[in-house]
Amino acid sequence: MSKNVGSIRRSQIISTFGPGAIVDFRLPGSGALLSGVMQGLEAWEAYTKGGYKQDIVREPRLEALLGVDHFRAPPVGTYLKDGQTRERVLPIERFPDWLSCPECHVINRSGQWAPSRNGDSLHCGKCRGKPAVVPVRFVTICENGHLDDFPWMSWLTHKESCTQPVLALRTAGAGIGGLMLTCKSCGGSRSMAEAFSPRGIPKHKCRGGRPWLGGSEMGCEAAPRITQRGASNVYFSIEQSAITLPDWKVPFKEKIGDFIEMLDFLEDEAMMVSFITKKILPIWDGDESAEEIARRFREMKQDSTDAEHDLRLDEFRMLLTDTSASNAEAMTLLNRRQPVPTVFNGMISWISSVERLREVRALTGFTRLKAQVGGKPEAVPLSRSALSWLPAVAMHGEGVFLTLDIDAVSDWEKRPDVEKHLQGLVITFLETTRAEGKPAEGPPPQLSARYMLVHTLAHALVVRLSLDSGYSSSALRERLYVGPDMAGLLIYTSTPDADGTMGGLSRQARPARMEQLVLQALADHELCSADPLCSEGMARSGSNGNHAACHNCVFLPETSCEVWNGFLDRTLLSAGPLAFFSRLLA
């Protein structure tokens, strides 16, 4: 396929339509539906060779965490190669390969249909009007991330005399049980409902399909599962992000970007200084000497060893710093401290309006069937082999930051009734995990009173902020800072342009607004329309670590939540005697 079939926003590549995802397009000429799978990173390189430098995104702390040299934004626009202007595009391949005629309901592989005159779509040549064929509804996936066509030919048992089967997918009744796969040649028939088994497709093994990388991976032991190609469980992106902190290493790395590999190679001090003198100083925009540049390069390498916890800890410390006294125009993180309303004394220790921030969001992999939480399940790779880069976008936005009083949180989480409640959640989580046939080595780190308190508060604030700030809940994101010395949260919005810095969110941190906002958010979640089922934890699934949480109260759009609406509990926030904020609602 070599035609331009549509467009996608850059930010969607990182979150929804990255390599391995299925995307539907309407072809520009005919309007016919095309379903394709986004190709892997090697295919990106093949299509953008010589034109990717303008897409490079820098964030040293995140690069060190993920072990890459740089990030690249999904390509857009054009580039010059051999004197010719070429489009910079992302490649896709048709998937599923099986297509269906909307008139006669026959299904067949793409090579068996008639192409249109301009070759941009496929049609049924036997039906009147030659209607465009459409992708079949069903595909197969497995927990190891494989993706394949449904085994249409082997699913249906044909008569021995059937030498040329003609398959059709017809609706003969209500629901999935009324969807029948039939053979027009021999009359064989089977309901598609039989393929929807919790143990996988009966008598079929996973074929290890990896159409985004090309070919298959042999030896997969996971059970293949049938699903609709547009279902949400087909693709869960795995993202890592970092907020750019005011730091000398960012502009420094950008200035020496073309020489990093050579400087890495030069371990001898004298040789490095000589190289800098000859190659870098003649084009250097600054007053530093060769020795000073070499010293800064060594410091940058030594500081690039942060783990994810340390990355969050650095951000947390910076968010506890008022940067408004600095040169505001030059700040990548403009954070203005606000007075904490007296009603929150002993509960909330810091509030600030984040009037400007830059976030780099990188796609590191994906999963199927279930989203990754705590490193499980393992990420499916975006490329056949490890590369020196990953796709990412730089986002700009604003937000509201607050941190709970760490001493008050420590005392609260040590209460016997809180500890007993959390122990019950841990037991339920482990029992559910074992019932699903998976090893249960221990609870994830998110299953703690501190994390669930901060997380539920973040969701409650997002729901309230969506009513007061002018942003929808799907436009807001949470960023949690939870650890031995952290109990904070950042609610922010970020977009690839400047639309995320209009001020409607950050001004909510002002004392009068923040007092009303927090109190109303707590009151809103003291009760739920699904109570008492929700408050007693009867509406939850033990596998996601939730207790009193459901779609009627604290659940958010999944793109807004760090852990896909898991590890939430209103009883720890404001609903009942365990609540940290119970004094405010007495």
pLDDT digits (tens, 9 = 90+) for 200-255: 899 899 999 999 998 889 989 999 999 999 999 999 999 999 999 876 556 677 77
The reply to whether 329 and 278 lie within a common domain is no
Residues listed for the chain: 586
The reply to whether 472 and 568 lie within a common domain is yes
**Would you say 571 and 535 are in contact if contact means Cβ atoms under 8 Å apart?**
yes
The reply to whether 419 and 547 lie within a common domain is yes
How far apart CA 351 and CA 515 sit, in angstroms, is 11
**Other C-beta atoms lying within 10 Å of the C-beta of residue 3:** 12
- Region 19-28: mean pLDDT is 91
Better-scored residue on pLDDT, 88 or 143 = 143
In 381-515, the DSSP E strands lie at 389-404, 477-483, 486-495
Residue numbers of the domain that contains 91: 1-96
Q: Residue 336: in which H helix or E strand, if any?
A: strand 334-338
The reply to whether 555 and 408 lie within a common domain is yes
The reply to whether 579 and 460 lie within a common domain is yes
β-bridge partners, 335? 354
Sequence-separated (6 or more) residues with CB below 8 Å from residue 58:
70, 71, 250, 253, 254, 257, 360
The reply to whether 454 and 328 lie within a common domain is yes
User: What pLDDT does 287 receive?
Assistant: 67
Question: Among 96, 127, 156, where does a domain finish?
Answer: 96
User: What pLDDT does 124 receive?
Assistant: 92
User: Quick check: is 296 in a domain?
Assistant: yes
Domain total of the chain: 4
User: Quick check: is 227 in a domain?
Assistant: no
β-bridge partners, 238? 365
> Does residue 290 surpass a pLDDT of 90?
no
Of all residues in the chain, what percent carry a pLDDT higher than 90? 50
**Would you say 116 and 123 are in contact if contact means Cβ atoms under 8 Å apart?**
yes
User: Quick check: is 508 in a domain?
Assistant: yes
Strands 92-94 and 348-367: unpaired
User: Quick check: is 238 in a domain?
Assistant: no
Q: pLDDT by residue (tens digit) across 335-392?
A: 999 999 999 999 999 999 999 999 999 999 999 999 888 788 899 999 999 999 999 9
User: Quick check: is 63 in a domain?
Assistant: yes
> Does residue 108 surpass a pLDDT of 60?
yes
Average pLDDT, the chain: 87
> Does residue 459 surpass a pLDDT of 90?
yes
User: Quick check: is 426 in a domain?
Assistant: yes
Q: pLDDT by residue (tens digit) across 162-205?
A: 888 899 998 888 888 889 999 988 888 899 999 998 888 998 99
Question: Among 284, 300, 317, where does a domain finish?
Answer: 317
> Does residue 266 surpass a pLDDT of 60?
yes
**Measured over all CA atoms, what is the biggest interatomic distance in the chain, rounded to whole angstroms?**
86
The reply to whether 454 and 532 lie within a common domain is yes
Q: pLDDT by residue (tens digit) across 302-327?
A: 655 445 567 898 899 889 988 887 66
How far apart CA 504 and CA 509 sit, in angstroms, is 10
Distance of CA 175 to the CA centre of its chain: 32
How far apart CA 360 and CA 379 sit, in angstroms, is 20
The reply to whether 433 and 566 lie within a common domain is yes
User: What pLDDT does 417 receive?
Assistant: 96
> Does residue 330 surpass a pLDDT of 60?
no
> CA 568, 333, 313: angle at the middle one, nearest 5?
50
Which of 144, 562, 570 has the alpha carbon at shortest distance from 374? 562
Which of 514, 538, 541, 518 has the alpha carbon at shortest distance from 528? 538
| Residue type at 280 in one-letter notation | I
Of all residues in the chain, what percent carry a pLDDT higher than 70? 91
- Region 251-268: mean pLDDT is 78
Residue 11 confidence class, pLDDT cut points 50, 70, 90? confident
> CA 193, 197, 201: angle at the middle one, nearest 5?
90
Annotate 374-418 with DSSP letters as a single string.
Answer: TTBSPPBPSSSS--SEEEEEEEEEEEEEEEE-HHHHHHHHTSHHH
Which residue in the block uniquely carries the two structure tokens 């009007």?
129
- Region 277-287: mean pLDDT is 82
User: What pLDDT does 1 receive?
Assistant: 44
Token output for 395: 């986002």
Strands 389-404 and 70-72: parallel
Which of 411, 414, 412, 402 has the alpha carbon at shortest distance from 344? 402
Question: Among 166, 188, 222, where does a domain finish?
Answer: 222
> Does residue 83 surpass a pLDDT of 80?
no
How far apart CA 234 and CA 275 sit, in angstroms, is 50
Token output for 437: 């046939």
User: Quick check: is 33 in a domain?
Assistant: yes
> Does residue 121 surpass a pLDDT of 90?
no
Q: Residue 328: in which H helix or E strand, if any?
A: none
Preceding omega of 377 cis (within 30 degrees of 0): yes
Sequence-separated (6 or more) residues with CB below 8 Å from residue 219:
208
How far apart CA 115 and CA 102 sit, in angstroms, is 16
Using CB atoms within 10 A of its CB, is residue 524 exposed (0-12), middle (13-18) or buried (19+)?
middle
User: What pLDDT does 264 receive?
Assistant: 81
The reply to whether 205 and 175 lie within a common domain is yes
How far apart CA 208 and CA 211 sit, in angstroms, is 10
User: Quick check: is 161 in a domain?
Assistant: yes
- Residue 23's SS3 state is strand
| Residue type at 188 in one-letter notation | G
Helix 449-468 and helix 511-524, axial crossing angle in degrees, nearest 10: 110
The reply to whether 566 and 475 lie within a common domain is yes
Using CB atoms within 10 A of its CB, is residue 232 exposed (0-12), middle (13-18) or buried (19+)?
exposed
| Residue type at 229 in one-letter notation | R
Nearest 5°: phi and psi at 468?
Answer: -110, -20
> Does residue 439 surpass a pLDDT of 60?
yes
The reply to whether 311 and 414 lie within a common domain is no
The reply to whether 488 and 540 lie within a common domain is yes
Which of 177, 159, 180 has the alpha carbon at shortest distance from 168? 180
